[in-house]
Structure 1
Amino acid sequence: MSDKKGIQQIVLSFAALGLKEIVICPGSRNAPLVTSFNRHPGFHCTSIRDERAAGFFALGKALALKEPVALLCTSGSAPLNFGPSIAEAYYQKIPLIVLTADRPKTWTDQGDGQTINQTHVFRNYTRFGYELNGDAASPADLWFIRRCVSEGFNNTRFLNPGPVHFNVPMSEPLYRTEHIEDVAPRVFTKESVENRLGETTLKKLASVFSSCQKVMILTGQHPTDKGFLNAVIQMSRFDNLIVLTESTSNIHHPEFIEQIDRCITGLDEVSVQELQPDLLITVGGAIVSKRIKSLLRNHHPSFHWHIDPFDSTMDTYQSLTNAISMDPAAFFNQLHPYINIVSSDYKKKWLQLKEKKEIRHDHFIGHSKYSDLKVFHEIYQHLPDTTVLHIANSSPIRYAQLFSQTNETYCNRGASGIDGCTATAMGTAAALPHKNHLLITGDVAFHYDVNGLWNDEHIQNLKIIIINNGGGGIFRIIEGPDEAEERALFYETAMKTNAEKIAAHYNWNYLAVKEEQQLTGRLSEFFRSERKRTILEIFTDADTNPAVLKAYWASLNES
């Protein structure tokens, strides 16, 4: 371990608190931390060369493990490359421990190499930020390190989960080591408190619920959780309640509306009035559907409850009446016994609409041209139920909302960028090696995050499908840029590349689909070799895709 007492205290404190996973980027200033983490038996260290990819790799691990993962880099511009993944972790409430090595503060802004002002550099996207002196030696300074590490680690999981930044200035020499006894330092832990609503509050909320003919539970991004699913299913048995979910909600049931856009596109005002809720109950993170956000912002419910243990005051639909800070499953389980049964046809109307739109969807897909839409249909027809699904942002996550599937699903919907989609999937696959994983991405997103493949983990349980539609296809299917003369050059950034040589460079198998007749055969071959890391690149026509999607929306609206 490093001979620096401050570094020893940092590493031993994290070990005592239960941190296990460390993702390390190369450098010299972080050498004392690298040496100390790597030589401690309690840590599993992974080397990732590119800081941006490393950040998302760590994020993917933290998502899968549901526990804090540490991220470590050298000084200078290196920490700034963690920025995108830290922002994503902040908005998804993912526990990241960000450790940035630094030069002594006396050399900041003095023309010294690889030295920038790193103190609180991530202040807008971290829950807490700490400055820990790696050269500390006095008992008081070492106690301060233990206190800050304990507080920061606990705050990644409680209070308001998310990333915590520790900046660690230290002076040379950096490579001296010594043997020390692995004695756990005194740290402190926080224990979670079970939330319970008082009977008076429960009766008041149940009275509001029972007075409403139309209640909607809208579930945003949420990790897979059987307890949460069972609580929502129990609530869904009321006739005056409908549950709307998305692929990233990770809850499924025949009486849920799981393809929101498919159902609500083209509704006339009479239908909107019938289907808009009196009481809206929202849980989870970001919602992909722009249509449901627009509908609820333009037709405010009389009551809106947002249920979140940490961020209950989020008012996405500008109608919040009750901010309830508790676990959603616990809330539903406590509320359910107090609700009176209400006679209502609200759920029935939604389910009738769902059935009607599903028939139209199936008919259109069965007769549609080869396009992105048809490709997604075929992917889901071949996708094994047990495969963990990762979906890139932009058009892939939007197409995904149109199809039924029950796979555990991940997508970076915190900041919703295309950066890091591949690296996040790699991190999750590394953390869950007993499961097979699939990333569906676009050509721009894939090339943008190609360094996500640049690691030595030899991950074999991830496959990648690239929908190569010749650029940023999203800009042909959303209003505005689809008609702009700058679209091809500045929005789509149309590409004439493929991934074949990239696959060979990183030792991945490669398959391609260049016409419809190859699609089903290639998909069967792709999924048949379960433990082979393979890239399947599916080429579609940039002009056909928006025309087919436009016709699809029109077909759903036919009377």
Structure 2
Amino acid sequence: MVDPIIETNASIPSLFIDRWEKANRKLVILSTLNPDVFTQDQLNLLTSDPTVLVMSEVSSNIRHEKIIWGGIDTLIAPIENDEDAIAHLQPDMVVTIGGMIVSKKIKQYLRRFETQYHYHIGNRRAYDTFFKLAGHIKTAPSHWVDQLSINETSDSYRDYWLQFFNNYLIKRTDYLAAIPWSDFRAFNLIFDSLPDDIVLQLGNSSTIRYAQLFPMNPTHTVFSNRGTSGIDGSTSTAIGAAVAQDKPTVCITGDLSFLYDSNALWNNYIPANFKIIVINNSGGGIFRILPGEKDNHTFDTYFETTHQLDASHLCKMYDINYHRVDGEDAFAKAYEKFLNDNSKPQLLEIFTPRLENDTVLLDYFKFLK
């Protein structure tokens, strides 16, 4: 049974406070949020409690040294079949703040290892994602943090998992240095060299899921169309956002998402410094990661939707500078031109091998074990 919705900025329900103070393992998940939801002092306060583990998704726009950023799947995937290790992560209480959660692994995990209570904080809709929703507290997340008490226990749920995560980060550098040209490698190069102080618009589906595997530049403001994982409207949203604010906007999207929304380019208001990066793996490559039979006509046609299209003719029609990359050797030169030319909108199309991307990604999680 769900407790009544609390519409207040004055106090937090006593039942929540009681449960919070008694819980020795508290998991806070920060999903899609606007920038500056918390001050630095509030983040310091939230992360100072050793019984609180905070996980933030890339679209939360929150970075902190004591928060597991974005890479929730990097933490969970290597231990998801280790009953003892994964059970040790089980929280007594879960608090969610923000919109839809991207990580499938954290959703699957918290449904499998039931938490006692799940509370959602803020005015966004409270989804019963883990089938344990105990209440929706409609107050500003910053106000909620200010009301929290700090547990002084020496048993650090937070530090154990932060150390676990940091060990993975050290190990992953060896894997990233050795992988062949692929979606994973392309995203690694892109995120390593994006300029500071930009608005980053991430396409839905594979783009934001790959972004979850990389630390985001703290000067970036990150947005993404999240809902029921539809690919429509990513480019339209990015262009509209670019028109509405002063910072340069970079849109990173997949080939199907870009082609599906190509009419977004048919307008007279695209800023000259607007940039699009299209990862073209000749179809809906994310479907190759999912279990099931592949490499037959039905899968190729109706799930992966394979194609041999590119964006060059669209760019010519809409007067957008087009840059093409077919491998890592060509990336650096094309990427530099793409970033530095602000005379008119730019599009960088990066082609990756359709049949190798899923193996490179799945082997990453195996490598971390």
Alpha-carbon distance change, 481 to 431 in structure 1, aligned in 2, over 3 angstroms: farther
| 2:88 alignment partner AA | E
Paired residues for 1:437-448 under 5 Å: 437-448=249-260
Compute the displacement of 1:233 (Å).
Answer: 3.4
Match of 1:351 among 162, 165, 182: 162
Query: Could you say which residue in structure 2 is the equivalent of 1:328?
Result: 141
Query: Could you say which residue in structure 2 is the equivalent of 1:389?
Result: 200
Give yes or no for the alignment of 1:551 onto 2:369: no
Compute the displacement of 1:553 (Å).
Answer: 1.6
Match of 1:207 among 18, 23, 26: 18
Conserved in 2, the CA contact under 8 Å of 1:224 and 1:250? yes
Conserved in 1, the CA contact under 8 Å of 2:50 and 2:151? no
Match of 1:361 among 167, 172, 192: 172
Q: Secondary structure in 2 aligned to 1:223?
A: coil
Query: Could you say which residue in structure 2 is the equivalent of 1:304?
Result: 118
| 1:396 alignment partner AA | T
Give yes or no for the alignment of 1:423 onto 2:236: yes
The 10-residue stretch of structure 1 (283-292 or 339-348) with the greater mean CA deviation from structure 2: 339-348
Query: Could you say which residue in structure 2 is the equivalent of 1:374?
Result: 185
Alpha-carbon distance change, 492 to 463 in structure 1, aligned in 2, over 3 angstroms: same
Based on CA coordinates, which of the two structures has the bigger radius of gyration? Answer: 1
Compute the displacement of 1:530 (Å).
Answer: 4.4
Distance in 1 of aligned mates of 2:40 and 2:27: 16
Match of 1:231 among 24, 42, 46: 42
Cα RMSD for the two superposed structures: 1.9
Distance in 2 of aligned mates of 1:229 and 1:482: 47
Match of 2:98 among 279, 284, 299: 284
Q: Percent identity?
A: 35
Compute the displacement of 1:391 (Å).
Answer: 0.9
Conserved in 2, the CA contact under 8 Å of 1:215 and 1:278? yes
Q: Secondary structure in 2 aligned to 1:227?
A: coil
Conserved in 1, the CA contact under 8 Å of 2:29 and 2:56? yes
Query: Could you say which residue in structure 1 is the equivalent of 2:248?
Result: 436
Query: Could you say which residue in structure 2 is the equivalent of 1:255?
Result: 66
Distance in 2 of aligned mates of 1:530 and 1:242: 42
Superposed structure 1 runs of 4+ greater than 6 Å apart: none
- TM-score w.r.t. length of structure 1: 0.62
Q: Secondary structure in 1 aligned to 2:34?
A: coil
Conserved in 1, the CA contact under 8 Å of 2:121 and 2:140? yes
1:329-372 CA-partner distances (Å, limit 9, x unpaired): 11111x22x44423322111111111111112111001111100
Compute the displacement of 1:292 (Å).
Answer: 0.3
Distance in 2 of aligned mates of 1:548 and 1:556: 13
Compute the displacement of 1:215 (Å).
Answer: 0.8
Alpha-carbon distance change, 310 to 367 in structure 1, aligned in 2, over 3 angstroms: closer
Query: Could you say which residue in structure 1 is the equivalent of 2:303?
Result: 491
The 10-residue stretch of structure 1 (297-306 or 284-293) with the greater mean CA deviation from structure 2: 297-306
1:484-517 CA-partner distances (Å, limit 9, x unpaired): 6511111111111111111111010010001221
Alpha-carbon distance change, 392 to 264 in structure 1, aligned in 2, over 3 angstroms: same
Conserved in 2, the CA contact under 8 Å of 1:429 and 1:459? yes
Conserved in 2, the CA contact under 8 Å of 1:436 and 1:531? no
Paired residues for 1:63-212 under 5 Å: 195-197=9-11, 201-202=13-14, 204-212=15-23
Structure of higher RCO (CA pairs closer than 8 Å, 6+ residues apart): 2
Distance in 1 of aligned mates of 2:183 and 2:87: 33
Query: Could you say which residue in structure 2 is the equivalent of 1:477?
Result: 289
Conserved in 1, the CA contact under 8 Å of 2:99 and 2:125? no
Q: Secondary structure in 2 aligned to 1:205?
A: helix
Conserved in 2, the CA contact under 8 Å of 1:436 and 1:530? no
Unaligned runs of 5+ in 2: 1-6
Query: Could you say which residue in structure 2 is the equivalent of 1:11?
Result: none
- Give the number of aligned pairs: 359
Query: Could you say which residue in structure 2 is the equivalent of 1:398?
Result: 209
Match of 1:271 among 71, 74, 85: 85
Query: Could you say which residue in structure 1 is the equivalent of 2:4?
Result: none
1:24-65 CA-partner distances (Å, limit 9, x unpaired): xxxxxxxxxxxxxxxxxxxxxxxxxxxxxxxxxxxxxxxxxx
1:421-463 CA-partner distances (Å, limit 9, x unpaired): 110000000001x211111111111111010000011421310
| 2:328 alignment partner AA | E
- TM-score w.r.t. length of structure 2: 0.92
| 1:477 alignment partner AA | I
Alpha-carbon distance change, 539 to 416 in structure 1, aligned in 2, over 3 angstroms: same
1:133-163 CA-partner distances (Å, limit 9, x unpaired): xxxxxxxxxxxxxxxxxxxxxxxxxxxxxxx
Distance in 1 of aligned mates of 2:62 and 2:203: 20
Q: Secondary structure in 2 aligned to 1:265?
A: helix
1:385-418 CA-partner distances (Å, limit 9, x unpaired): 3111111112111111111113211111023211
Alpha-carbon distance change, 445 to 481 in structure 1, aligned in 2, over 3 angstroms: farther
Match of 1:295 among 109, 126, 129: 109
1:207-237 CA-partner distances (Å, limit 9, x unpaired): 3222222111111111112536653432111
Q: Secondary structure in 2 aligned to 1:409?
A: strand
Compute the displacement of 1:471 (Å).
Answer: 0.9
| 1:233 alignment partner AA | N
| 2:236 alignment partner AA | A
Query: Could you say which residue in structure 2 is the equivalent of 1:408?
Result: 221
Conserved in 1, the CA contact under 8 Å of 2:202 and 2:253? yes
Unaligned runs of 5+ in 1: 1-192
Distance in 1 of aligned mates of 2:107 and 2:134: 17
Conserved in 2, the CA contact under 8 Å of 1:421 and 1:445? yes
Give yes or no for the alignment of 1:240 onto 2:51: yes
